[in-house]
Amino acid sequence: MNTEAPRVATWLAERFLTSPRRESLIGDLVEQYREGRSATWYWGQVLRAIVVSITEELAAHKLLALRAVAVGMIATYLLQIGPIVWVGVPAEDWVIRRVVNCEATGGGFWCQFWVNQFSFELVVYVACALTGWIVARLHRPHRVAAVCVFTVAFLLWRFVETAFFSQHPPPDAMSVSFTTVYVVDVVAEGGRALAILIGGLAGARHEHVLVPVERRAS
Amino acid sequence: MAREFLGGFELLVLLALIRLGDEAYGVPIGKAIQESSGRNVALGSVYITLERLETRGLVTSERGEPTAVRGGRAKTFFRITAQGLREVRNAQRTLVRLWGGVPQLERTTA
């Protein structure tokens, strides 16, 4: 007999389920898992429950969904034209001057990729986390749903933009295939989306971890 | 405000509540629907439906005690209200009237 339900799935359920009966729902899933259900079944139930609860909340608050996307996009834009340029570009220059200069060493695409990840992109990830936090804080009663809808909108926007630019790759990316550039871009966008979710969860932490379920339901 | 019709899944959930009586919480409700319909049921959908029905005053809920087998989490027991029962009866009457005299359906009811 299974004893402990998949921890990551339970962790996700505790943070992403918006239902006031969240604890009872997780308890029901744990009970069935201990009766012999598989880990796949448990994961499936958790993911479906998260999608259903967020969809239901957004359907009931359509304007909130639009506002969350608008706030997130504005925050992204303001952070991109400000701190990302002020901090990210100098950080990348510093790494190139002090740590490794890919052009001088002939390191190629992957050298440039890692230099970028540990300088400019690092600032972008922090900015994305900050954006998620801002969206969560400005939509307190529906933080999780607001952050999730913005994350999905962000991913759609970035994937369309990535697909467009991968058809016109910059000359310095020609040392690797188009597919590699595209896959790397998609993974980077996934990382940015993850940063938004993490920032959003930090902004939603009090509602979902510290406040008892009964108080939310009343 | 116009009275809302019960959705198909809402009706299934209410019928499961009537059958289960005092023992109606997520797990048996899901199992009852699964056994009668032969389809997999997402517990998340059951809970969302129950919450919607509770908002409409068709269902009430009560929190049980936390148990170790559930990882220290309490059950929430649900019960149909008098208004909920009326809605189920109305749905039954409507469906029976619509079913009556439809030759395509008579063969499958045997």
**Strand B73-80 with B59-67, pairing:** antiparallel
Contacts A43 to B, Cβ<8 Å: none
- Chain B touched by A53 (CB under 8 Å): yes
Q: Do residues A207 and A139 lie in contact, with contact meaning Cβ atoms separated by under 8 Å?
A: no
Tens of pLDDT, residue by residue over A36-64, are 899 999 999 999 999 999 998 899 889 99
Q: Where are the domains of chain B?
A: 8-100
Identity of the residue in A24, A50, A53 whose CB atom sits nearest the CB atom of B75: A24
Identity of the residue in B43, B48, B52 whose CB atom sits nearest the CB atom of A28: B43
HSE-CB of B86 using CA atoms within 13 angstroms: 8
Tens of pLDDT, residue by residue over B10-54, are 999 999 999 999 889 999 999 999 999 888 899 999 999 999 999
Whether residue A212 is predicted with pLDDT greater than 60 in this model: the reply is no
Whether residue A211 is predicted with pLDDT greater than 50 in this model: the reply is no
Residue A95 pLDDT = 79
Tens of pLDDT, residue by residue over A146-160, are 999 999 999 998 888
In angstroms, rounded to a whole number, what is the distance separating the alpha carbons of residues A80 and A111? Answer: 24
The residues, ordered by sequence, that sit 6+ positions from A32 with a Cβ below 8 Å of its Cβ are A41, A42, B27, B43
Q: What is the mean pLDDT of chain A?
A: 82
Residue percentage of chain A with pLDDT more than 70: 86
Residue B75 pLDDT = 92
- Chain B touched by A23 (CB under 8 Å): yes
The residues, ordered by sequence, that sit 6+ positions from B30 with a Cβ below 8 Å of its Cβ are A28, B41, B43, B46
Note the residue count of chain A: 218
pTM, two decimal places: 0.77
Mutate to test the interface with A, among B48, B56, B62 (most CBs of A within 10 A): B48
Tens of pLDDT, residue by residue over A189-203, are 889 999 999 998 887
Report the CATH architecture of B8-100: Orthogonal Bundle (1.10)
The residues, ordered by sequence, that sit 6+ positions from B75 with a Cβ below 8 Å of its Cβ are A24, A27, A28, B25, B26, B63, B64, B65, B67
Whether residue B7 is predicted with pLDDT greater than 90 in this model: the reply is no
Stretch B47-75: mean pLDDT: 90
Tens of pLDDT, residue by residue over A8-24, are 999 999 988 888 888 99
Question: In the numeric block, which tokens belong to residue B18?
Answer: 């009537």
Whether residue A210 is predicted with pLDDT greater than 50 in this model: the reply is no
Q: A28 and B48 in contact by Cβ < 8 A? A: no
Residue percentage of chain B with pLDDT more than 90: 60
Residue carrying the six token digits 């993490």: A198
* Cα of B70 to nearest chain A Cα, Å: 5
Tens of pLDDT, residue by residue over A101-129, are 777 777 677 777 787 777 788 888 889 99
- Chain A touched by B43 (CB under 8 Å): yes
Chain centre to alpha carbon of residue A160: 17
Residue A186 pLDDT = 81
Q: B47 and A34 in contact by Cβ < 8 A? A: no
Rg (CA), chain A: 21
Residue B102 pLDDT = 83
Q: How confident is the model at residue A170 (pLDDT cuts 50, 70, 90)?
A: low
* Cα of B1 to nearest chain A Cα, Å: 17
